[in-house]
Structure 1
Protein backbone atom coordinates (compact mmCIF):
# COMPACT_ATOMS: atom_id res chain seq x y z
CA UNK A 1 0.00 0.00 0.00
CA UNK A 2 1.18 3.54 -0.71
CA UNK A 3 2.63 5.21 2.35
CA UNK A 4 2.33 8.82 1.18
CA UNK A 5 -0.89 10.20 -0.23
CA UNK A 6 -1.68 13.89 -0.78
CA UNK A 7 1.46 14.71 1.20
CA UNK A 8 0.32 12.69 4.23
CA UNK A 9 2.38 9.77 5.51
CA UNK A 10 0.41 6.63 6.32
CA UNK A 11 2.07 4.98 9.32
CA UNK A 12 3.76 1.68 8.48
CA UNK A 13 4.99 0.63 11.91
CA UNK A 14 4.24 -2.88 13.14
CA UNK A 15 1.48 -1.41 15.29
CA UNK A 16 -0.12 0.25 12.27
CA UNK A 17 0.23 -2.88 10.12
CA UNK A 18 -1.35 -5.03 12.83
CA UNK A 19 -4.25 -2.58 13.10
CA UNK A 20 -4.68 -2.79 9.32
CA UNK A 21 -4.86 -6.57 9.54
CA UNK A 22 -7.63 -6.41 12.12
CA UNK A 23 -9.74 -4.07 10.00
CA UNK A 24 -9.16 -6.25 6.92
CA UNK A 25 -10.16 -9.37 8.84
CA UNK A 26 -13.27 -8.09 10.60
CA UNK A 27 -14.36 -5.11 8.51
CA UNK A 28 -15.33 -4.72 4.87
CA UNK A 29 -14.01 -2.96 1.79
CA UNK A 30 -16.42 -0.14 2.57
CA UNK A 31 -14.99 0.34 6.07
CA UNK A 32 -11.41 -0.13 4.85
CA UNK A 33 -11.63 2.65 2.30
CA UNK A 34 -13.68 4.89 4.60
CA UNK A 35 -11.35 4.48 7.58
CA UNK A 36 -8.23 5.24 5.55
CA UNK A 37 -9.87 8.29 3.99
CA UNK A 38 -10.89 9.46 7.47
CA UNK A 39 -7.26 9.34 8.57
CA UNK A 40 -6.02 11.16 5.50
CA UNK A 41 -8.73 13.81 5.63
CA UNK A 42 -8.17 14.37 9.34
CA UNK A 43 -4.39 14.47 9.09
CA UNK A 44 -4.48 16.78 6.09
CA UNK A 45 -6.72 19.22 7.94
CA UNK A 46 -4.34 19.01 10.88
CA UNK A 47 -1.40 19.89 8.67
CA UNK A 48 -3.21 22.83 7.15
CA UNK A 49 -4.14 24.13 10.60
CA UNK A 50 -0.57 23.51 11.82
CA UNK A 51 -1.79 21.25 14.62
CA UNK A 52 0.63 18.86 16.26
CA UNK A 53 -0.66 15.30 16.45
CA UNK A 54 0.57 11.74 16.76
CA UNK A 55 0.04 10.22 13.32
CA UNK A 56 0.23 6.64 14.57
CA UNK A 57 -2.42 7.20 17.24
CA UNK A 58 -4.64 9.06 14.78
CA UNK A 59 -4.27 6.23 12.27
CA UNK A 60 -5.15 3.50 14.76
CA UNK A 61 -8.12 5.59 15.87
CA UNK A 62 -9.29 5.87 12.27
CA UNK A 63 -8.91 2.15 11.57
CA UNK A 64 -10.85 1.19 14.70
CA UNK A 65 -13.45 3.96 14.72
CA UNK A 66 -16.19 1.90 13.00
CA UNK A 67 -15.16 -1.60 14.07
CA UNK A 68 -17.94 -1.49 16.65
CA UNK A 69 -20.33 -1.92 13.72
CA UNK A 70 -18.92 -5.37 12.94
CA UNK A 71 -20.28 -8.62 14.35
CA UNK A 72 -16.95 -9.49 15.93
CA UNK A 73 -16.80 -6.37 18.08
CA UNK A 74 -20.46 -5.44 18.50
CA UNK A 75 -21.88 -5.78 22.01
CA UNK A 76 -25.52 -6.30 22.91
CA UNK A 77 -26.03 -3.11 24.85
CA UNK A 78 -23.32 -0.51 24.20
CA UNK A 79 -23.05 2.24 21.61
CA UNK A 80 -21.06 1.05 18.62
CA UNK A 81 -18.62 3.91 19.21
CA UNK A 82 -17.84 2.50 22.67
CA UNK A 83 -17.47 -1.01 21.25
CA UNK A 84 -14.89 0.29 18.78
CA UNK A 85 -13.10 2.25 21.50
CA UNK A 86 -12.98 -0.82 23.75
CA UNK A 87 -11.61 -2.90 20.88
CA UNK A 88 -8.84 -0.36 20.31
CA UNK A 89 -7.99 -0.29 24.02
CA UNK A 90 -7.73 -4.08 24.10
CA UNK A 91 -5.58 -4.05 20.97
CA UNK A 92 -3.20 -1.35 22.23
CA UNK A 93 -2.76 -3.11 25.58
CA UNK A 94 -0.52 -5.65 23.81
CA UNK A 95 2.00 -2.96 22.85
CA UNK A 96 4.26 -0.65 24.82
CA UNK A 97 1.80 2.22 24.65
CA UNK A 98 1.43 4.81 27.39
CA UNK A 99 -1.89 4.59 29.23
CA UNK A 100 -2.61 8.24 28.45
CA UNK A 101 -2.15 7.51 24.74
CA UNK A 102 -4.52 4.56 24.97
CA UNK A 103 -7.10 6.77 26.65
CA UNK A 104 -6.63 9.37 23.92
CA UNK A 105 -7.43 6.77 21.24
CA UNK A 106 -10.41 5.56 23.28
CA UNK A 107 -11.78 9.10 23.53
CA UNK A 108 -11.23 9.78 19.83
CA UNK A 109 -13.24 6.72 18.80
CA UNK A 110 -15.94 6.99 21.46
CA UNK A 111 -16.57 10.66 20.66
CA UNK A 112 -16.27 10.64 16.88
CA UNK A 113 -20.03 11.17 16.42
CA UNK A 114 -20.44 13.57 19.34
CA UNK A 115 -21.11 16.92 17.71
CA UNK A 116 -20.11 19.98 19.71
CA UNK A 117 -17.68 18.14 21.99
CA UNK A 118 -15.05 16.17 20.06
CA UNK A 119 -13.78 19.18 18.11
CA UNK A 120 -12.82 20.89 21.39
CA UNK A 121 -10.71 18.06 22.78
CA UNK A 122 -7.13 16.99 22.08
CA UNK A 123 -5.88 17.27 18.52
CA UNK A 124 -6.09 13.56 17.77
CA UNK A 125 -9.70 13.49 18.97
CA UNK A 126 -10.59 16.61 17.03
CA UNK A 127 -8.86 15.47 13.85
CA UNK A 128 -10.55 12.07 13.83
CA UNK A 129 -13.87 13.87 14.22
CA UNK A 130 -12.91 16.24 11.39
CA UNK A 131 -11.93 13.36 9.12
CA UNK A 132 -15.20 11.55 9.76
CA UNK A 133 -17.21 14.72 9.24
CA UNK A 134 -15.52 15.43 5.92
CA UNK A 135 -15.89 11.92 4.52
CA UNK A 136 -19.45 11.29 5.71
CA UNK A 137 -21.09 14.70 5.54
CA UNK A 138 -18.67 16.80 3.51
CA UNK A 139 -17.81 19.11 6.39
CA UNK A 140 -14.62 20.99 5.50
CA UNK A 141 -14.83 19.81 1.86
CA UNK A 142 -13.57 23.12 0.51
CA UNK A 143 -10.67 23.23 2.95
CA UNK A 144 -8.96 20.72 0.67
CA UNK A 145 -7.92 21.25 -2.94
CA UNK A 146 -9.39 19.24 -5.81
CA UNK A 147 -5.99 17.59 -6.25
CA UNK A 148 -5.83 16.53 -2.61
CA UNK A 149 -9.34 15.07 -2.64
CA UNK A 150 -8.73 13.25 -5.93
CA UNK A 151 -5.48 11.72 -4.70
CA UNK A 152 -7.16 10.36 -1.58
CA UNK A 153 -10.19 9.02 -3.42
CA UNK A 154 -8.00 7.42 -6.07
CA UNK A 155 -6.16 5.49 -3.35
CA UNK A 156 -9.31 4.68 -1.36
CA UNK A 157 -12.36 4.93 -3.67
CA UNK A 158 -15.77 6.01 -2.42
CA UNK A 159 -17.65 3.45 -4.57
CA UNK A 160 -21.22 4.68 -4.01
CA UNK A 161 -20.34 5.58 -0.42
CA UNK A 162 -23.40 7.80 0.06
CA UNK A 163 -25.70 4.89 -0.70
CA UNK A 164 -23.70 2.22 1.11
CA UNK A 165 -22.76 3.83 4.42
CA UNK A 166 -26.23 4.41 5.88
CA UNK A 167 -27.35 0.77 5.59
CA UNK A 168 -23.92 -0.26 6.91
CA UNK A 169 -24.48 1.93 9.96
CA UNK A 170 -27.91 0.44 10.53
CA UNK A 171 -26.71 -3.15 10.22
CA UNK A 172 -24.23 -2.39 12.98
CA UNK A 173 -26.84 -1.45 15.57
CA UNK A 174 -30.19 -2.68 14.28
CA UNK A 175 -30.23 -5.18 17.18
CA UNK A 176 -29.83 -2.37 19.73
CA UNK A 177 -31.47 0.82 18.39
CA UNK A 178 -31.92 2.05 21.95
CA UNK A 179 -28.18 2.73 22.10
CA UNK A 180 -28.62 5.57 19.61
CA UNK A 181 -30.65 7.61 22.12
CA UNK A 182 -29.21 11.10 22.35
CA UNK A 183 -26.92 10.87 19.34
CA UNK A 184 -27.09 11.39 15.59
CA UNK A 185 -27.33 7.69 14.76
CA UNK A 186 -30.93 7.80 15.94
CA UNK A 187 -31.64 9.42 12.56
CA UNK A 188 -30.42 6.22 10.88
CA UNK A 189 -32.89 4.15 12.90
CA UNK A 190 -35.67 6.55 11.94
CA UNK A 191 -34.79 6.02 8.27
CA UNK A 192 -34.92 2.22 8.37
CA UNK A 193 -37.38 1.28 11.14
CA UNK A 194 -41.08 1.85 10.32
CA UNK A 195 -42.88 3.98 12.92
CA UNK A 196 -39.67 4.35 14.88
CA UNK A 197 -40.20 6.20 18.17
CA UNK A 198 -36.92 7.08 19.84
CA UNK A 199 -36.61 7.52 23.56
CA UNK A 200 -37.46 11.09 24.48
CA UNK A 201 -35.43 13.12 26.97
CA UNK A 202 -38.41 15.21 28.04
CA UNK A 203 -40.38 12.05 28.83
CA UNK A 204 -37.44 10.83 30.89
CA UNK A 205 -37.64 13.99 32.98
CA UNK A 206 -41.41 14.17 33.31
CA UNK A 207 -41.88 10.48 34.03
CA UNK A 208 -38.95 10.00 36.38
CA UNK A 209 -39.69 8.36 39.79
CA UNK A 210 -39.29 11.70 41.55
CA UNK A 211 -42.53 12.98 43.11
CA UNK A 212 -41.76 16.57 42.11
Structure 2
Protein backbone atom coordinates (compact mmCIF):
# COMPACT_ATOMS: atom_id res chain seq x y z
CA UNK A 1 0.00 0.00 0.00
CA UNK A 2 1.22 3.47 -0.89
CA UNK A 3 1.76 5.73 2.09
CA UNK A 4 1.58 9.55 2.05
CA UNK A 5 1.94 11.73 5.14
CA UNK A 6 1.79 8.60 7.28
CA UNK A 7 -1.57 7.57 5.80
CA UNK A 8 -2.03 4.34 3.89
CA UNK A 9 -3.89 4.89 0.62
CA UNK A 10 -6.60 2.18 0.47
CA UNK A 11 -5.94 -0.28 -2.33
CA UNK A 12 -8.84 -2.72 -2.10
CA UNK A 13 -10.80 -3.41 -5.28
CA UNK A 14 -13.55 -1.13 -4.02
CA UNK A 15 -11.06 1.70 -3.42
CA UNK A 16 -9.43 1.22 -6.82
CA UNK A 17 -12.80 1.20 -8.58
CA UNK A 18 -13.83 4.39 -6.77
CA UNK A 19 -10.58 6.04 -7.86
CA UNK A 20 -11.14 4.91 -11.44
CA UNK A 21 -14.57 6.59 -11.48
CA UNK A 22 -13.11 9.92 -10.41
CA UNK A 23 -10.29 9.59 -12.95
CA UNK A 24 -12.78 8.84 -15.72
CA UNK A 25 -15.41 11.46 -15.02
CA UNK A 26 -13.48 14.10 -13.10
CA UNK A 27 -10.40 16.07 -14.07
CA UNK A 28 -6.99 16.88 -12.63
CA UNK A 29 -8.42 19.65 -10.46
CA UNK A 30 -10.97 17.36 -8.78
CA UNK A 31 -8.54 14.43 -8.60
CA UNK A 32 -5.87 16.36 -6.71
CA UNK A 33 -8.40 18.20 -4.55
CA UNK A 34 -10.26 15.03 -3.55
CA UNK A 35 -7.07 13.20 -2.62
CA UNK A 36 -5.81 16.14 -0.59
CA UNK A 37 -9.16 16.27 1.21
CA UNK A 38 -8.86 12.59 2.08
CA UNK A 39 -5.32 12.95 3.39
CA UNK A 40 -6.00 16.12 5.33
CA UNK A 41 -9.04 14.51 6.95
CA UNK A 42 -7.20 11.27 7.69
CA UNK A 43 -4.26 13.08 9.29
CA UNK A 44 -6.66 15.16 11.39
CA UNK A 45 -8.32 11.96 12.55
CA UNK A 46 -4.96 10.42 13.38
CA UNK A 47 -3.86 13.49 15.32
CA UNK A 48 -7.09 13.51 17.31
CA UNK A 49 -6.85 9.74 17.88
CA UNK A 50 -10.31 9.28 16.43
CA UNK A 51 -11.63 5.93 15.35
CA UNK A 52 -12.73 6.00 11.73
CA UNK A 53 -12.96 3.76 8.67
CA UNK A 54 -10.14 4.77 6.33
CA UNK A 55 -11.76 3.21 3.27
CA UNK A 56 -15.12 4.90 3.87
CA UNK A 57 -13.36 8.24 4.30
CA UNK A 58 -11.45 7.59 1.07
CA UNK A 59 -14.60 6.83 -0.94
CA UNK A 60 -16.34 9.85 0.59
CA UNK A 61 -13.47 12.11 -0.46
CA UNK A 62 -13.30 10.71 -4.00
CA UNK A 63 -17.05 11.14 -4.54
CA UNK A 64 -17.63 14.37 -2.62
CA UNK A 65 -17.43 16.64 -5.70
CA UNK A 66 -18.51 14.09 -8.30
CA UNK A 67 -21.89 15.84 -8.46
CA UNK A 68 -20.14 18.69 -10.28
CA UNK A 69 -19.35 16.45 -13.25
CA UNK A 70 -21.58 16.05 -16.30
CA UNK A 71 -21.94 12.32 -15.71
CA UNK A 72 -23.41 12.67 -12.22
CA UNK A 73 -24.98 16.12 -12.31
CA UNK A 74 -28.78 16.12 -11.97
CA UNK A 75 -31.05 18.89 -13.26
CA UNK A 76 -32.58 19.76 -9.90
CA UNK A 77 -30.68 18.44 -6.88
CA UNK A 78 -27.88 20.02 -4.89
CA UNK A 79 -24.55 18.85 -6.28
CA UNK A 80 -23.66 17.48 -2.84
CA UNK A 81 -26.72 15.21 -2.99
CA UNK A 82 -25.81 14.12 -6.53
CA UNK A 83 -22.40 13.03 -5.27
CA UNK A 84 -23.89 11.34 -2.23
CA UNK A 85 -26.40 9.44 -4.39
CA UNK A 86 -23.62 8.34 -6.73
CA UNK A 87 -21.58 7.03 -3.81
CA UNK A 88 -24.58 5.16 -2.40
CA UNK A 89 -25.27 3.45 -5.74
CA UNK A 90 -21.59 2.57 -6.05
CA UNK A 91 -21.32 1.07 -2.56
CA UNK A 92 -24.52 -0.92 -2.94
CA UNK A 93 -22.86 -2.84 -5.78
CA UNK A 94 -20.36 -4.19 -3.24
CA UNK A 95 -22.98 -5.16 -0.65
CA UNK A 96 -21.60 -2.63 1.81
CA UNK A 97 -23.78 -2.53 4.96
CA UNK A 98 -26.52 0.11 4.98
CA UNK A 99 -25.06 1.84 8.03
CA UNK A 100 -21.71 2.34 6.29
CA UNK A 101 -23.36 3.46 3.07
CA UNK A 102 -25.45 5.98 4.99
CA UNK A 103 -22.31 7.28 6.68
CA UNK A 104 -20.72 7.99 3.30
CA UNK A 105 -23.94 9.56 2.02
CA UNK A 106 -24.08 11.88 5.02
CA UNK A 107 -20.41 12.80 4.74
CA UNK A 108 -20.78 13.88 1.12
CA UNK A 109 -24.21 15.52 1.43
CA UNK A 110 -23.11 17.57 4.46
CA UNK A 111 -19.57 18.51 3.42
CA UNK A 112 -20.62 22.13 2.81
CA UNK A 113 -22.80 22.39 5.92
CA UNK A 114 -20.90 24.02 8.79
CA UNK A 115 -22.41 23.77 12.22
CA UNK A 116 -23.71 20.26 11.54
CA UNK A 117 -21.13 18.07 9.81
CA UNK A 118 -18.40 18.59 12.40
CA UNK A 119 -20.69 17.23 15.12
CA UNK A 120 -21.58 13.97 13.38
CA UNK A 121 -19.70 10.67 13.07
CA UNK A 122 -15.94 10.70 12.59
CA UNK A 123 -16.02 10.03 8.85
CA UNK A 124 -18.49 12.88 8.30
CA UNK A 125 -16.56 15.31 10.51
CA UNK A 126 -13.18 14.38 9.02
CA UNK A 127 -14.33 14.83 5.44
CA UNK A 128 -15.70 18.24 6.43
CA UNK A 129 -12.40 19.19 8.05
CA UNK A 130 -10.42 18.05 5.00
CA UNK A 131 -12.61 20.09 2.67
CA UNK A 132 -12.39 23.13 4.93
CA UNK A 133 -8.61 22.97 5.07
CA UNK A 134 -8.12 22.51 1.33
CA UNK A 135 -10.69 25.04 0.14
CA UNK A 136 -10.59 27.78 2.77
CA UNK A 137 -7.50 27.01 4.82
CA UNK A 138 -9.44 26.09 7.98
CA UNK A 139 -6.97 24.73 10.52
CA UNK A 140 -3.98 25.59 8.30
CA UNK A 141 -1.67 26.66 11.13
CA UNK A 142 -2.57 23.66 13.27
CA UNK A 143 -1.78 21.15 10.51
CA UNK A 144 1.84 19.86 10.54
CA UNK A 145 3.74 21.78 7.88
CA UNK A 146 5.90 18.82 6.79
CA UNK A 147 2.82 16.64 6.22
CA UNK A 148 1.03 19.46 4.45
CA UNK A 149 3.93 19.89 2.05
CA UNK A 150 4.20 16.14 1.44
CA UNK A 151 0.52 15.99 0.53
CA UNK A 152 0.76 18.98 -1.81
CA UNK A 153 3.84 17.52 -3.47
CA UNK A 154 1.91 14.36 -4.32
CA UNK A 155 -1.33 16.16 -5.21
CA UNK A 156 -0.40 19.69 -6.35
CA UNK A 157 -2.70 22.67 -5.96
CA UNK A 158 -1.86 24.06 -9.43
CA UNK A 159 -3.69 27.41 -9.32
CA UNK A 160 -6.45 25.83 -7.21
CA UNK A 161 -7.73 29.12 -5.76
CA UNK A 162 -8.49 30.50 -9.21
CA UNK A 163 -9.87 27.30 -10.74
CA UNK A 164 -12.11 25.85 -8.04
CA UNK A 165 -14.67 28.68 -7.96
CA UNK A 166 -15.44 28.44 -11.72
CA UNK A 167 -15.54 24.64 -11.34
CA UNK A 168 -18.17 24.97 -8.64
CA UNK A 169 -20.21 27.34 -10.78
CA UNK A 170 -20.09 25.08 -13.82
CA UNK A 171 -21.60 22.34 -11.67
CA UNK A 172 -24.73 24.23 -10.70
CA UNK A 173 -25.13 27.30 -12.91
CA UNK A 174 -28.14 25.59 -14.53
CA UNK A 175 -29.80 25.13 -11.12
CA UNK A 176 -28.86 28.14 -8.97
CA UNK A 177 -31.98 27.67 -6.86
CA UNK A 178 -30.30 24.62 -5.28
CA UNK A 179 -27.89 26.98 -3.52
CA UNK A 180 -30.69 28.50 -1.43
CA UNK A 181 -29.71 28.35 2.23
CA UNK A 182 -26.14 27.16 1.69
CA UNK A 183 -22.72 28.68 1.09
CA UNK A 184 -22.68 27.90 -2.64
CA UNK A 185 -25.08 30.81 -3.15
CA UNK A 186 -21.93 32.95 -2.79
CA UNK A 187 -20.49 31.23 -5.87
CA UNK A 188 -23.55 32.05 -7.96
CA UNK A 189 -23.47 35.68 -6.88
CA UNK A 190 -19.74 35.84 -7.65
CA UNK A 191 -20.59 35.28 -11.32
CA UNK A 192 -24.11 36.76 -11.32
CA UNK A 193 -24.11 39.70 -8.86
CA UNK A 194 -27.75 40.50 -9.55
CA UNK A 195 -29.01 36.97 -8.87
CA UNK A 196 -31.08 36.50 -5.73
CA UNK A 197 -32.51 33.29 -4.38
CA UNK A 198 -35.78 33.32 -2.50
CA UNK A 199 -35.61 34.88 0.94
CA UNK A 200 -36.43 32.81 4.02
CA UNK A 201 -38.32 35.63 5.75
CA UNK A 202 -40.34 36.26 2.60
CA UNK A 203 -41.17 32.55 2.43
CA UNK A 204 -42.65 32.82 5.92
CA UNK A 205 -44.51 36.10 5.37
CA UNK A 206 -45.92 35.06 1.99
CA UNK A 207 -46.87 31.52 2.94
CA UNK A 208 -50.49 30.42 2.29
CA UNK A 209 -51.28 30.48 6.03
CA UNK A 210 -53.85 33.16 6.91
CA UNK A 211 -52.22 34.21 10.18
Tell me if both proteins adopt one fold, taking TM over 0.5 as the criterion: yes
* Counterpart residue number, 1:202: 201
Aligned length: 211
Do 1:45 and 1:143's aligned partners in 2 also have CA atoms closer than 8 Å?
no
Q: Residue in 2 aligned with 1:3?
A: 2
Aligned to 2:77: 78
Q: By how many angstroms is 1:196 displaced?
A: 1.1
Partner residue of 1:94?
93
Q: In the aligned structure 1, how far is the partner of 2:113 from the partner of 2:138?
A: 14
Q: Single out whichever of 94-103 and 117-126 deviates more from structure 2.
A: 94-103
Kindly state the Cα deviation for residue 59 of structure 1 after the two structures are TM-superposed. 0.1
Structure 1: gaps spanning 5 or more residues: none
Determine if the alignment matches structure 1 residue 181 to structure 2 residue 174.
no
Q: Deviations over 1:123-167 (max 9, x none)?
A: 000000000000000001112121111100000000000000000
| Aligned residue in 2 for 1:43 | 42
Offset at 1:194?
Answer: 3.8
What corresponds to 2:121 in structure 1? Answer: 122
User: 3-state SS of the aligned residue for 1:11?
Assistant: coil
In the alignment, is residue 165 of structure 1 matched against residue 185 of structure 2?
Answer: no
| Match of residue 142 from structure 2 | 143
Cα-to-partner distance string for 1:40-72 (whole Å, 9 max, x where unaligned):
000000000000000000000000000000011
- Show structure 1 runs of 4+ deviating over 2 A: none
In 2, Cα distance between equivalents of 1:10 and 1:143: 23
Cα distance, 1:193 vs. partner? 1.2
Partner of 2:107: 108
Shift of 1:96: 2.7
Cα contact 1:57–1:124 (8 A) shared by 2: yes
Distance (whole Å) between structure 1 residues aligned to residue 142 and residue 95 of structure 2: 36
**What residue number does 1:32 align with?**
31
Range that drifts further, 97-106 or 189-198: 189-198
Higher mean displacement: 74-83 or 196-205: 196-205
On the 8 A contact 1:119/1:127 being kept in 2, the answer is: yes
Where in structure 2 are there 5+ consecutive unaligned residues?
none
Q: CA deviation at 1:197?
A: 1.1
**Cα distance in 1 between the residues matched to 2:197 and 2:159:** 29
* Structure 1 residue 3, shift from structure 2 partner: 1.6
Matched with 1:153 is: 152
